[in-house]
């Protein structure tokens, strides 16, 4: 993306030059799925597909926002003093949440902003386009009004926007990955303490391929919230037998010794996923640190099986992409990434095999599903910041 293109876009829409340009990445989660609201580990990295914004200060108390991705929505606006969730305000609800919570912390802002947004993350693809926009908005507000707030607190407000403003009870994975990332690294984050470690993503002679199933099931949010409730219920039942603060703090031995206290089979399977996915995530980070790609790939594959069989958040399209990926030569491992119910999968593929991989998986997917998948080569990125290049 060229900066000049974004500035031209701004000028066309607002009739005056834009002042500052910002970028916020998307993310892939290498492993550690549905562990973040269970006090477990996640292992994401940010990617160069993301959200750009050009902004300028206004003289009044309004925010005017335009997305080049949704030209049919036209110019949307809201008042700083009057922020409420409103379905018809569409994507600007993400902005509104961030303005609301930052004003609750710092008082009403002296003036509003003009914002021109352009995103390169496909929507509904489980690459965190919404977290990207939330953290982007927070960083813009901080920088434009010189607010004294660390990036991690903006990340937390992004999660609050998602939980309280939008009503999705997600964990901190997405906003953290988007806000705290370092290029060429993945973050091994303990979602219980928020301690984290930047681990270099060194995959000699390999690429991470993102495979977009171009599918998103209805009811994603309610299914997501249901998974979280099921984990909470499973934990409660376990706690009648063992003193444990979260599923993520259980070892495999502890879980096996006490799992009979979980009454229903479905709850048992949800908990099993959460416990073992957390263990796999630690093991995978260690494997990457010691350049043991083979083990890393096997853990990715196990993660997918567990998400399919025990957590039941895969769909036929993502299962097909992953099983087709497993059949190809030069593939270290493959799994779905993000919340599930459609969206994207990732595969680690040998450089020399990438073209054949995309050709083969793409062809077979289209034959079986009837629409095509999209493929992107993932490049890692830094967290949300002003674009000073």
- State which residue, 10 or 224, has the beta carbon closest to ligand GLA: 224
Under rule CB under 6 A, residue 36 binds ligand GLA? yes
- State which residue, 143 or 232, has the beta carbon closest to ligand GLA: 232
Please select the residue that binds ligand GLA; options are 114, 170, 328, 380, rule is CB under 6 A. Answer: 170
Under rule CB under 6 A, residue 187 binds ligand GLA? no
Under rule CB under 6 A, residue 338 binds ligand GLA? yes
Least distance CB 9 / ligand GLA (angstroms): 29
Least distance CB 204 / ligand GLA (angstroms): 27
- State which residue, 174 or 317, has the beta carbon closest to ligand GLA: 174
- State which residue, 17 or 167, has the beta carbon closest to ligand GLA: 167
Q: Which stretch binds ligand GLA (CB under 6 A): 2-10, 70-78, 168-176, 282-290?
A: 168-176
Rounded to whole angstroms, the Cα distance separating 134 from 131 reads 5
Q: Which stretch binds ligand GLA (CB under 6 A): 71-79, 165-173, 203-211, 319-327?
A: 165-173
Under rule CB under 6 A, residue 339 binds ligand GLA? yes
Under rule CB under 6 A, residue 210 binds ligand GLA? no
Least distance CB 36 / ligand GLA (angstroms): 5
For β-strands 385-386 and 20-29, DSSP reports them as: antiparallel
Under rule CB under 6 A, residue 171 binds ligand GLA? yes
Under rule CB under 6 A, residue 310 binds ligand GLA? no
Under rule CB under 6 A, residue 124 binds ligand GLA? no
Please select the residue that binds ligand GLA; options are 34, 156, 160, 304, rule is CB under 6 A. Answer: 34
How many residues line the site for ligand GLA (CB under 6 A)? Answer: 11
Residues with a known catalytic role: 174
Least distance CB 171 / ligand GLA (angstroms): 4
User: ∠ CA(217), CA(221), CA(225), 5° rounding?
Assistant: 130
Under rule CB under 6 A, residue 38 binds ligand GLA? no
3-state secondary structure the chain: CCHHHHHHHHHHHHCCCCCEEEEEEEEEECCCCCCHHHCCEECEEEEEEEEEEEEEECCCCEEEEEECCCHHHCCEEEECCCCCCCHHHCCHHHHHHHHHHHHHHHCCCCCCEEEEEEECCCCCCCCCHHHHHHHHHHHHHHHHCCCCCCHHHHHHHHHHHHHHHCCCCCCCHHHHHHHHCCCCEEEEEECCCCCEEEEECCCCCEEEEEEEEEEECCCHHHHHHHHHHHHHHHHHHHHCCCCCCCHHHCCHHHHHHHHHHCCCHHHHHHHHHHHHHHHHHHHHHHHHHCCCHHHHHHHHHHHHHHHHHCCCCCCHHHHHHHHHHHHCCCEEEEEECCCCCEEEEEEEEEHHHHHHHHHHHHHHHHHHHCCCCEEEECCECCCCEECCC
Q: Which stretch binds ligand GLA (CB under 6 A): 8-16, 28-36, 45-53, 82-90?
A: 28-36
Binding site for ligand GLA (CB under 6 A): 29, 33-34, 36-37, 170-171, 173-174, 338-339
């Amino acid at each position: 993306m060229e900066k000049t293109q974004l500035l031209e876009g701004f000028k066309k829409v607002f009739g005056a030059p834009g002042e500052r340009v910002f970028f916020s990445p998307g993310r892939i989660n290498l492993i550690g799925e549905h562990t973040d609201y269970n006090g477990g580990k996640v292992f994401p990295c940010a990617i160069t597909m993301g959200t750009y914004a050009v902004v300028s200060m206004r003289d009044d108390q309004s925010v005017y926002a335009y997305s080049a991705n949704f030209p049919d929505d036209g110019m949307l606006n809201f008042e700083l003093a009057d922020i409420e969730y409103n379905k018809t305000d569409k994507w600007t609800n993400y902005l509104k949440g961030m303005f609301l919570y930052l004003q609750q912390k710092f008082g009403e802002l002296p003036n509003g902003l003009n914002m021109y947004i352009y995103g390169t993350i496909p929507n509904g693809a489980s690459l965190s386009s919404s977290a990207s926009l939330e953290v982007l908005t927070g960083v813009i507000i901080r920088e434009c009004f010189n607010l004294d707030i660390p990036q991690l607190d903006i990340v937390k407000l992004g999660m609050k926007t998602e939980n309280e403003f939008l009503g999705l009870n997600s964990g901190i994975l997405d906003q953290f990955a988007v806000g705290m990332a370092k290029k060429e690294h993945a973050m091994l984050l303990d979602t219980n303490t928020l301690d984290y470690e930047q681990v270099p993503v060194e995959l000699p002679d390999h690429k991470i391929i993102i495979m977009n199933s171009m599918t998103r099931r209805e009811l994603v949010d309610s299914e997501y919230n249901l998974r979280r409730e099921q984990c909470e219920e499973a934990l409660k039942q376990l706690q009648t037998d063992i003193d444990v603060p979260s599923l993520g703090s259980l070892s495999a031995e502890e879980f096996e010794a006490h799992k009979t206290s979980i009454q229903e089979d479905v709850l048992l399977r949800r908990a099993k996923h959460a416990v073992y996915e957390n263990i796999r995530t630690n093991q995978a980070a260690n494997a990457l640190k010691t350049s043991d790609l083979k083990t890393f790939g096997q853990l990715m594959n196990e993660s997918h099986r567990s998400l399919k069989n025990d957590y039941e958040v895969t769909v036929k399209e993502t299962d097909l992409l992953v099983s087709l990926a497993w059949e190809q030569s030069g593939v270290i491992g493959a799994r779905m990434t993000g919340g599930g119910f459609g969206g994207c999968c990732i595969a680690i593929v040998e450089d020399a095999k990438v073209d054949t991989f995309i050709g083969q998986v793409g062809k077979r997917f289209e034959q079986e599903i009837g629409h095509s998948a999209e493929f992107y080569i993932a490049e890692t990125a830094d967290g949300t910041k002003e674009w000073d290049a």
